[in-house]
Structure 1
Amino acid sequence: MELSPLILAIIGLVLAAWAAGAAVMMIRASKKTRRTKALQTSLKRMQRMMDMAPAIPMLVRVDGRIEAPERLARWLGLEAMPNYLSELAAEDEDAGHQGLSDAQVKTLSEKVRLTQKSAAPFQIAITPPGSGRSLALQGALADPQVSPGGAALVWVFDFTESQDELSLMRQAASQAESDFAALVGLIEAAPVPMWFRGRDMRLQLVNQAYVDAVDAEDAAAVIEGQIELLEAEDGKSPAQQARGVFEALEQKERVTTATLHGERRTLRVSNQPLGKEGVTGYAIDIEEQQQVLREFRAFREAQREMLDQLSVGVAQFNDAEELTFANQPFRRLFELPDGAVRENIRFDRFLSEAREKGLTPEVRDFPEWRREHAAWFDSADMQEEAWPLAGGVHLRIVAQPLPDGGIVLVAEDQTESLALSATRDTLLRTRTATLDSLFEALAIFAPDGSVQLWNRSFAGTWGLSSEFLDTHPSADALLEAIGKNLSKPSETRRIGAVVRAATLDRTEKEGRVQLSDGRSLRFAGVPLPDGNGLLTVLDITDSQKAEQALRERAVALEEADAVKARFLANMSYEFRTPLTTIGGYAELLKSGAAGEIGDGAGEYVDSILTAVARLTEQVENVLDLSQSEAGLLPITKEDADLLTFLTKLVRERETAIIKAQLGLDLKGKRGRKVEIDARQLGRAVGNLLDNAINGTPPDGHILIEILKSDPEGEWRTSFVISDNGAGMASDELERALDGGRSTEDGDNEKRTGLGIPLARQLIAAHGGLLEITSEEGVGTTAVIHLP
């Protein structure tokens, strides 16, 4: 039987569809198989995790049936987990560790039943009979996904180790309480104030001695009121000081004062940290000891201070022949080092070192001499010797025995007293020579007014005779003799007042008098430390004449300045008026107002106008320079943009720059504000720019650059004008700065004019500075600084 092509096609399609369906079924089955394997692996993992977890779950259903791992049975001492909660009880409680007791099962059942009814969680702790294991049970209503019938889920924890530790802690706490009670009894019975502070440094325990010391009712009142026994020191309260001990974990003792029983006492306070629990402390009254120590120290210090004030050297040696004290004269006399007293050098060493310094007499057998003097410690009598030393020094040595076996060694330097009389004569002669060599005239008056001493110039200055001063006249007699030489004899009262102020009032005073011969004298009285008064006299005639000459010169200068100002005012008019007239008539001629003029005459007129403009500019420069030097140039400052200001000056000279075939660069940024008089500063900068244009050959270059400001510099704004022209030598630059001739070329003299000096004056009038440097063949650079 032959099949038609249509039937064959249909059969092929059915087979293809069947094959595709089979493939889809196989893929889905493979995915379900992998999912099942993954789920089984996850369940095994979760089961393993549950087995290793520190807590074991137990599900208790409403009918009392339980579900739990076998591990819980081992914790309870059972061979296998029972089916019901009531079967957790041991069948025979005397059989050892086999489940829970009836009471424990009953308690657990009640807790579970209450949770199943009210969903209230519970926590209980049990220890199975005959077991050392402690279990904690935490129960709650199970999630519906775990058990939808209202079952309770109980988690069982093993806290045996925590329970053991807790037991040990209870025992330690009991022992600590016992020890603390004994310590409290000891502290309470202590005769000195004692206290204990907790971690917060508050008083928690004080003994009865503390309560009595602060005059409180009882310990409870002290703790409640936090009554401190001690006072704050260096801005720190007793609690803060205890805090420092607690943090450093180091015992600290100090001596302080406090009020005990209404009296001020000295206490030795000790603070001892007690680990992390707090700080304990006690205070011992050492007032009696401190009083004795203070008295002894005060006596010793007073004695040593008194000995330091003596002019003789005093040293003390103890019974061990060691140096314990030496006053300053003794240390200075025997050149003892600073550490000699601290080192307690022995007496024999002291003698040996003194011999090396040449401070002992020269003897033939020094060791024997030293032994003889060491025997002073065994003698009960005072010893006295004279020690003649090299260089003419003479010492008197006295050794005074002390009751404790030591000695006091007294050394007196008698060298000065022996040479005092000779020195006195030398000093008197030196004083007389010194006074006679002074330029001023001097006289010393005693408190009674008599003249005690004078120098050679005193008699000549006042016109007195030496024989008169040799009589040591009184102040009245001296003033009477001086009055004869004064232009006004009544002025002697002023001299007498100065002498009286120096001798009696002990104050300084001065004055001036005029002598009849025209001399001017200035005198002053100075009190001297010995009660006398010093009168100094100085001839100021020459200085008076010089002062008068200076005054006359100052008046002349003021008159010259006034004449100069009037001259400038007149010349400003006299110069400008003829120039204006000449320029006006020349312009009329050029315009043809007087008739037509020829080409030759026109050139002459143009030359006249050019010369008038040049002369007008020079006149303006001269007048402005003169006014600037006289300080009369008016300056009106306004804020201006520096780049715009410089650009305007360059634009005004654009034709001259192009005609001279020069290049010019202007560099800078807008926004740099300066306070200037645009007209006057424009003339100064214009003159510098004109000089640069005139002094630069064709194809040369001119640079104008605004410099960056330096915040730490002296000047706020600076800019440079430089060219690469011919430049000038140092002497030419110096003459240019003065407006003189700079160079000479044959018979033609080239002058810079007054442009540079005027520019410098105008910049200075703005409070600025002009710096010009030039090098021949290289060019010229001008730097303008503005404030």
Structure 2
Amino acid sequence: MNKDHTDFPAIRRKGPKFLRRLLAGTALFTATDALAQVVPQKAGIFGSSEVVTFSVLIGVISAAMISAIWLIRQRGNIEAENRELRSDLSDANQRLSRYQALVADKNRRIVIWDGLLERAELLGQLPAETGAPSDDRDFLAFGRWVKAQSAGELEKSIEALRTQARSFDLVIETQRNEVLEAQGRVSGGRAFVRFIALNNMRAELAELKLEHDRLNIALRSFHTLLDAIDLPVWQRGTDGALVWVNEAYADAVEAPDVATAVAEKRELLATVAREKIRSVSTFDTPFHDKVSTVVRGNRTFFDVVDARSAAGSAGIAVDISGIEAVREELNRTLKSHAETLDHLATPVAIFDGNQRLQFYNQAFQRLWNLDIGFLERKPDNGEVLDRLRAGGQLPEQLNWKQWKANALSVYQALDTQSDLWHLPNGQTLRVFATARPQGGVTWVFENLTEKVDLETRYNTLVQVQGETIDHLAEGVAVFGPDGRIRLSNPAFRAIWGISEAEAKPGTHIKAIEQACLISYDQPDGWKRFTHIITSFDDERPSSRGILELRTGLILDYAVIPLPNAQTMLTFVNITDSVRVERALTEKNEALRKADALKNDFVHHVSYELRSPLTNIIGFADLLKTPAFGDLNERQAEYVDHIATSSSLLLTIVNDILDLATVDAGIVQLDLADISLTDFLDDIAYQMADRLTESGVTLRIAAPDNLGRMVADQQRLKQIFVKLLTNAANFAPDGSVIELACRREGSDFIFSVSDSGPGIPQDVLDTVFNRFESHGQRGGAGLGLSIVESFVSLHHGTVSIRSKEGEGTEVTCRIPSADVPSTVAAE
């Protein structure tokens, strides 16, 4: 096999000339053989043609012999060349064996690509402890046995090697934390990548290189992070000069970039601060303090931390200007709260985490009558309790130590603790002890003496009311939310003709309805009562009406919701009054028509007055403008009087129109959801100038949680303005008008009180009548009439309380209306 492999290339190298000679030799052997066959046959006869032919044959034979001799000589040369080629092949095989033995080293593996589309050829192996697989396909899946970061870099480098002939040298890390060196080269149009398992020194060097790369990456990430934060950060060399700053530092020193800030040595901190940092900071103890500096023209406070190291120092500055402002605001707030608590009527005492007294108000000192010197030395809580017990001011206890320990256990409690203290002096206190978030306890003492007394009086009152109801001429029945009767008086049973057993407590309203059908043959009435009493509606409306019984009685009934979801039915015998009412119907109808005629007249006249009044006000304003010429002092005074009087007259006309529209029944309330806190702020702002002109001060007493209600905001604002304006008219100069607001369920209750001369009792009942004015500054007398009309439109009530020489108080109660459907949809 080796001979054929060797001779064929040798013959091929001789070329076409050697082939021609070989064919000539073959022809010579053929001709000689033919002559040998012809000569014996023709030996006896020789002609001229035969002689010629024989001569030709002799020449051919001679040429053939010469060619044979030359062929033999060439064959010897070929055999010599073949022997030389065999020797070269043997040497090449030996070198190949040596190279294969070298490549087959267990510490390296070579991957060869002959072209972009050729499959890779792998030579050699890597140690098993490196985690490199022995299978060729698994070995080329680098992501399976090389760490992700190293695998990504390796694949990118191999791609660049095969496509762009770009050499590389990498140190990669396997999944078993072993280090390999990968070298990529291109030679003879082939791409080679050699993987080498490193020895100890080289492996250590490679690990150091990996660690160096990781540290560089971490440092770049750290610098990127520091550039992203808005806190100035800097790094200094051993000579104290800046070597690196972040973006926030460059922005603080107004440098275009960080390189400029470092190159120009722009300092954030003043020289004195830097010298202080250099003198205070040590290798073991970094500098940490508040430093003041100027940033963009503003004084700024920084919390600076500067740490020293062998390579220099590094620092960071945290802007605490906002924190300082908040701290100052907190101190002011705490001081304000302390002043507020000091004016409260409720006793309050605050103890810190060490159970020592930190704050007490005047009510606390007055309640326990403790010496101020004792309180000012900040005694602990237990000492205060002992002092109160020694003075006989605390409830007597069988086991004082146990009671005191329970009282002081609030310092370890999570929730507020409350207790009732019945003092020897007859007072009853509800004591609240609340643990503070920053440590300590706040003690609040609520005096319940009046409340207990009120409860006692209330129970007595309930008993009295029970006796009173039993002796009323009106029929009264109270039903619970379950529709069962709770109580009824004898008048109720007499009106409906039922016995006490049929109306005993606990009887359902259905049974009452059946019993009452004897006297009232229309069941719709009692069914209506049943629906109202047993319905689950959030709003339980009251209802009134008239019933006529078979017995001839005419009853005025009322369905009144009571607290705790109870309902009261009242029946009043109005038979006589109805008869009188029917007799007076015709006279009342005549009076109604006359009143309607009056309202129409007032409405028409008011509308006719508005147009000329508007013109007068407009022309008075034009006269004040410089464009129409300057007015002398008297003319300006007259124009002001015209404008003031016209505005007052227009207000009166508008009031009359409002009352006329109310009387006509055409007023439509624009109901909306109102924030009462914002509403009161708006009222105070709107009335500020008016109250200043009158020389009075408005004081609003309202809790923070007034919440919201549904009402006509414009009409409600008119109510407040009329009441406050009326109070300002009668209040003396320098006095205070008080606006008190509160909520009772869904009702909004507010009152306006002044310290004016008051209203005489003989005219107090007529203050809500129209055109009723009292006093020199009373106005047209329409304000309270409008208030009563608008409150009534909201289904509310108005009451007035006044005494001569003590001022006047007007109180309004307005229930929250149902939310309009459009508002609910929104």
Instruction: Using structure 1 for the length normalisation, give the TM-score.
Output: 0.32
Instruction: Using structure 2 for the length normalisation, give the TM-score.
Output: 0.31
